Structure 1
Amino acid sequence: MRKIIPKLILLLLVSLPVMLYAQYNLPQNKVWVMSKHAGLDFNGTQPVPMSSQITETECTAAVSDSFGSLRFYTDGSNIWNRFHNIMPNGLNINNTGIGNYTTTQGALIVPDPGNVNRYYVFTLKRYLYVNVVDMSLNNGLGDVVTTYPLKGIICHDTLGEKMVAIRGCNNNVWVVIRADRKPEFYSFQVKTTGLDTIPVISTAGYLPSIAYYQGQMAASSDGTKIVTCSTNDPSSLELFKFDHTSGIIYQSEVLDSNARSYGVAFSPDGNKIYYADMSDSGNFIQYDLIDRVRTVLGKAQSITQVKLGVNGKVYFISEIGSFMGVPSDTSYLGCINKPNVFGLGCQFESRVPSLFFPNSGTTGLQLNLPNEVVMAKPAGSVEPALANRIILDTLFCAAEPFAAFNLHAYPVFTNYMWDNGTTGTSRPVTHGGTYWVRYNTICGPRTDTFKVRTNNIPNLQLQYNAPVLSTLGTYNSYQWYKGGQIIAAATGPSLTVSSTGWYSLKVGGGNGCSDSAAYYVGSVTSIEDTKNAARIDIFPNPVQDLVKVQADRPITLRLIDAKGRIITIEKGNSLSLGSYASGLYFIQVIEAKSGRILKVQQVTKR
């Protein structure tokens, strides 16, 4: 069996701080405008509440100049100037007669990389609309350009409610949108030469039972990761990788299969995720991506967007109630004061005393915090020449005797050159060693290295003798998980279980290699019912893309990673693993009529 360590992305210039690429701390994000006439000004030492003209809506966006002074803002349907007056041609900008007030992230402002006075205003309301604002018009107060040739709908596909901007690497910005009813993402590129209306479409993530519904999408500060959430569907907190050279979203992972959330945000360093769990009484959660630990921090409004501020703090809408003598009909913002810090050390503050907004029929706080402004290149910045020279380092652990297999490079670029002189996107290997491939992207050269090591780590197998789970092999290290979450102090070869569910064990061996296995403890006492399993065939294994299942009845397939986390669910007799990372997975075959588990089989994705 070959075991694969997930791909790590490293910058050659390891000393370059994340802040170089961060967008949340730009002066263009110093003024927030929210619904119900609320706003927030970050230009002082502490943020100060302010008012705006936006009424009830789920989506807003605002942009400031390079000094932090407000330029204009929008709810996706109307545009106001810095004096809070409707901009010329700024009323009902999409000519729909209806607003996009019920779209979570229905408004987005993207500065034109080729013109400091022009801004693209994107509106999401099932379809994608675009307008252009020119701030050189109307005596510097701005005007909506009615002659812009692309004004109106630029995408007629059925889109969802999630839209963010992510900085590219070639003086460009990607506008990323998730589809509504299928596992697809659309990446539209804003360049110095204009807007490209033909999107890069990526297939990634689990297939929803109906739709992805309401909920935010957020990008990490370095632009390498995306997280999405949903208010309705299970397995809704999903993590993805993003390639800023191509706009492709790939390698999805369900982080919290039980969470329902409306808002989500990354910490500044991108290693932690914050969200309010509607299915857990509005508990505000920190999810640590390094140790995979979920920490309950306190209470928030259960339906709230979450946003990283220019001061490096994460903000959310608090529960309504009396606080420090202020009447109970007052809304507050809460914050995470040190969001990079693990666990309770992040300093969760349920309500910031100075950030209160009196509630009335038309004022207060509703649901939303504004979408983030992302610039292709911050004013005055100089990107280092080697910043785009990326190394992708993958470790393969191959059992003996060694079985030949192919190494694959990322397939969407040009001028591939392998260490052996071949020029395709893949090459065969027949023994251990270090291999590499170089190729060109629009952002410069990239090198992938593949370290193939032979290792005699015993094949990991779990057995269950109620109530003890154990492994027969001996390894250098052990760590047990339940439902993808680390079990504290469970670092031995056996585990006494007290409840049903998915348990998994990760073991370490020599040469940096590891192995993982999962086991379901439930109404059955083994990983598969022998009678039903005998009538089911899962092939091929190992697999590069499509797994097929032969069964004697209608089935649903569930893909589970080595830690027992649900990755995706598909109806029918096939499941594509092509977009997922190499490694070990489990295919769970479920009887469509009864929901009964018929078989669970481990597969290796190459």
Structure 2
Amino acid sequence: MSLILYLLNQLYYRLFPGNKSINCQTSSRPGSRWGTLLFLILLFSGWNARAQFHAQRRQELKANSNWFHGAHRVDCNQEPPVSIEAPGYFPVAKRYERLRITDPLTPDFQTSFPGERNTNMIPVSHPLTGQFQFAVFPDQVYNRNFGMMPNGEFDPETFDPVTSDKHIAVVPFINDTNRYYIFNLGVEGTGLVYSVLDMRLDNGLGDIDPSAKAIPLKQWQYSYANFEVIGTVPGNNCNLWLLVAENLIVESSFNIYAFEITANGINTTPVTTKITKAFRPEILWDFQVSPDRKTIARIGLHVPEDTLTRKAASVNFLSFSPGTGQVGDSHLPAIDIPLHDFGLNIHGSFTPDNGFYMVNNGDYRPDKMLYLTRYDLSAYDNNYNPEKVPFALNYLILRQSEQGCPGVPPTLFFKPYNNSLYFNIPFGLKAGCPGGEGMKIVSKDLTAIRSLTGLGGRGWDVNGFSPDEIMLTVQNRFYTGNDVVYPYTPADTLPDLALDSVFCFDPTTPFPQLTLEAKAGYSNYVWNDGTAGPAKTVTQSGTYWVYYTGPCNTRVDSFRLRFRERKRIMPPDTVICDQRFPFDVRIGRAEFYLWDDNSTAQDRRIFKPGTYSVIFEALGCKQYDTLRVGGMLCPCNVSVPNAFSPNNDGLNDYFKPVMGLGCVPAQYSLRIYNRWGQLVYKSNNEFDRGWDGRTDNGTPADIGSYFYELRFNTSYRTDNYYHKGELILVR
């Protein structure tokens, strides 16, 4: 904090030399001095390649280099990774799949769509050679030959064998390459236990030490809570942190426990943090720690108590301290995730370079494209600048089940590995399923795994898709288990403090002289220009870093000093039909609003053409934005199609008259009759989607001729509008 206070005081005295003290809180009052406050935030950027993210170190890549999916093993020791048959794993996978199937007459692996997440499991490989060593399931542990270890079975009544939630973790002993901790989360009302696996037992195949099996570590505070392992994180002192979430779905908070693991063993007293949820009740999943170890992301689904049909999803961020294990609020605001036709299969992941957060929310389009969404973590003050990343499919995703064909796409999961972000994709449909022109028909369901890298284009966009597909078959499930994580060693350079100093005043203002201070209490400080010492005076913006010797390794502090860029929150200038006044404008997210009419709401009702301005505060800086609105008298033209094809292909699926913006109809009425004069559809709402080609009872209407009547009144026509005509329904 010494650097923060020093920078704040230095800048404050330069701007307000008559003041003798500084209030570090930003003021949101309209009359406060603005445009002059230095604002400090954590920097989430991988600019300094000298300090490597832990997941990209050789030992972690090798330890997590084998992925098992049904009858196949994906070998990541090769470049690119390849799919290899793994007959030993297949009987084990079948056992867990049978436990999941409720219909005993249904064959194995046929009840779920391609890409569904498997029962949670963790395959562990040797950290030096990448050779597969053992696999851990919630209730059993198997050796490298997929034989169950002699003491590798746990009580299935206590440890759910078929959960796809992350209920297990494997953590290596520190300074001991032969032993591992295995952590298991029990079902409701039990708790967290750990066991010790020793690879020297059972003639080198490994076994659970019977004297250290299922040792209780933590009893849950609430029997009705849901639990999930967030992950294992390297600490700052050659230690590890095991993070576990205890979610109270119907309560307004949840708990995160951080268990410290050192060379001396497990600290049984965790660092505990209670987190207030944005919504209540809320279901939480996809917990993930960022590659730089400083942020925890989670996806939350708000399910109102009164209905299950109105849901809201969001990504929420928390800060994490690798030095203390403390969890707290993050400077990153929440990301609101829109829900699409395919519901709640929402999953996300940090990119391996820590620059973006990728989300799949089931955004499948009629153009046979799946659209991922990329959020730029460095642009959090501009709503993350979300951009769509389209991925081409070879068939059309259906909106409903037809003739035994799946009506929803497979769930898509992300798995970061090395410099790529892997995800599963659907590769085809069952023979005979409709999919549109040019669909590749295959004899059975296929899936594949593709990767996305930050090397092409601007990073993590459509140019970054790898051309290599890892082919799998229907007997596969994609899992997202917790990786095996190793502590930083004396040979590693540990990224520690990272500060991004932002100046709110105009960039033409002379840069003040500032003193940067590294974390105190260490030795051998060396800055990027070769100067020595814990402090450095700078006179210009830019990026600076300092190396120094920590308790068990070399550390690096980085500083970036820059001027705040102007932020736009108003929509673009526009011209509106005179008939459409008044209308509402919603501007971007900010911490304070003051419109030119002294209103302070985010929304503004516009009654006439003109220029509208707002003062707003975002991340400590007050700024100014304007919107120019023009007006014009628009004609009231009406166009009615003479045919439509309601076949769920996204093209002409609804029949509806198209009215010009100048109409503004009142007493709107649309009636459709079949050839015998029977009413099959009616609407009094100009904003509905129109007729979907179905009768009142929901059955598809016959193809052929129908007749419509359209009526409405409007003050912008001299006469009331009435028109009737014929339309053709085709499929």
What value does the CA root-mean-square deviation take over the aligned residues? Answer: 4.5
Which residue identity lines up with residue 237 of structure 1 in the other structure? V
Could you say which structure has the higher strand fraction?
Answer: 1
The offset of 1:89, in angstroms, is 1.1
The offset of 1:529, in angstroms, is 11
Q: Does 1:321 align with 2:428?
A: yes
Residue matched to 1:167: 234
Which residue identity lines up with residue 231 of structure 2 in the other structure? V
More off after superposition, 98-107 vs 318-327 = 318-327
8 Å contact kept, 1:132–1:151: no
Deviations 1:309-364 (A, max 9, x none): 24x22111213525866544112223214378435345236x9543222x2xxx22
**Equivalent residue runs for 1:324-339 within 5 Å:** 326-338=442-454
**Equivalent residue runs for 1:379-528 within 5 Å:** 382-384=491-493, 387=494, 390=497, 392=499, 478-481=566-569, 502-504=586-588, 517=592, 527=601
Q: Does 1:178 align with 2:245?
A: yes
CA gap 1:321/1:95 in 2 versus in 1, 3 angstroms? closer
Considering only CA atoms, is the larger Rg found in Structure 1 or Structure 2? 2
Query: Aligned equivalents of 1:199 and 1:393: distance in 2?
Result: 31
Residue matched to 1:305: 413
Query: Aligned equivalents of 1:286 and 1:529: distance in 2?
Result: 27
Q: Does 1:289 align with 2:363?
A: no
**Equivalent residue runs for 1:194-343 within 5 Å:** 194-204=265-275, 206-213=277-284, 215-230=285-300, 234-252=312-330, 253-259=332-338, 262-278=346-362, 283-291=371-379, 292-298=384-390, 303-310=411-418, 312-319=419-426, 321-322=428-429, 326-338=442-454, 341-342=458-459
Query: Aligned equivalents of 2:265 and 2:451: distance in 1?
Result: 37
**Which of the residues 165, 172, 180 maps onto 1:104?**
165
- Determine helix, strand or coil for the equivalent of 2:354: coil
8 Å contact kept, 1:48–1:354: yes
Residue matched to 1:68: 130
8 Å contact kept, 1:228–1:237: yes
The offset of 1:289, in angstroms, is 1.3
- Determine helix, strand or coil for the equivalent of 1:290: helix
The offset of 1:135, in angstroms, is 0.8
8 Å contact kept, 1:81–1:142: yes
Deviations 1:557-597 (A, max 9, x none): xxxx966xxxxxxxxxxxxxxxxx9789xxxxxxxxxxxxx
- Determine helix, strand or coil for the equivalent of 1:18: coil
Query: Aligned equivalents of 2:162 and 2:621: distance in 1?
Result: 43
- Determine helix, strand or coil for the equivalent of 1:138: coil
**Equivalent residue runs for 1:65-144 within 5 Å:** 65=126, 66-92=128-154, 94=155, 96=157, 98-125=159-186, 126=188, 127-144=191-208
Query: Aligned equivalents of 1:89 and 1:305: distance in 2?
Result: 32
More off after superposition, 6-15 vs 261-270 = 6-15
CA gap 1:330/1:443 in 2 versus in 1, 3 angstroms? same
The offset of 1:117, in angstroms, is 0.9
Residue matched to 1:419: none
CA gap 1:529/1:183 in 2 versus in 1, 3 angstroms? same
8 Å contact kept, 2:424–2:449: yes
Work out the number of aligned pairs and report it.
446
- Structure 2: gaps spanning 5 or more residues: 1-31, 98-117, 304-311, 339-343, 394-408, 430-438, 507-518, 523-548, 605-615, 623-731
Query: Aligned equivalents of 1:131 and 1:47: distance in 2?
Result: 32
Query: Aligned equivalents of 2:183 and 2:617: distance in 1?
Result: 40
Query: Aligned equivalents of 1:274 and 1:159: distance in 2?
Result: 25
- Determine helix, strand or coil for the equivalent of 1:147: helix
CA gap 1:338/1:210 in 2 versus in 1, 3 angstroms? same
Query: Aligned equivalents of 1:74 and 1:376: distance in 2?
Result: 21
The offset of 1:205, in angstroms, is 5.7
Give TM-score, length-normalised by structure 1.
0.62
Give TM-score, length-normalised by structure 2.
0.52
8 Å contact kept, 1:394–1:450: yes
Deviations 1:195-228 (A, max 9, x none): 1222112344634422334x31222222122221
Deviations 1:39-80 (A, max 9, x none): 321122222224323334441212111210011111222111
Query: Aligned equivalents of 1:562 and 1:200: distance in 2?
Result: 35
The offset of 1:4, in angstroms, is 5.3
Of all paired residues, the percent bearing the same amino acid is 18
Q: Does 1:355 align with 2:466?
A: no
Which residue identity lines up with residue 241 of structure 2 in the other structure? W
CA gap 1:13/1:47 in 2 versus in 1, 3 angstroms? closer
The offset of 1:305, in angstroms, is 2.5
The offset of 1:528, in angstroms, is 8.2
Query: Aligned equivalents of 2:499 and 2:275: distance in 1?
Result: 20
- Structure 1: gaps spanning 5 or more residues: 400-412, 417-439, 456-475, 507-515, 531-560, 564-580, 585-606
The offset of 1:84, in angstroms, is 1.0
The offset of 1:239, in angstroms, is 2.4
The offset of 1:296, in angstroms, is 2.1
Residue matched to 2:511: none
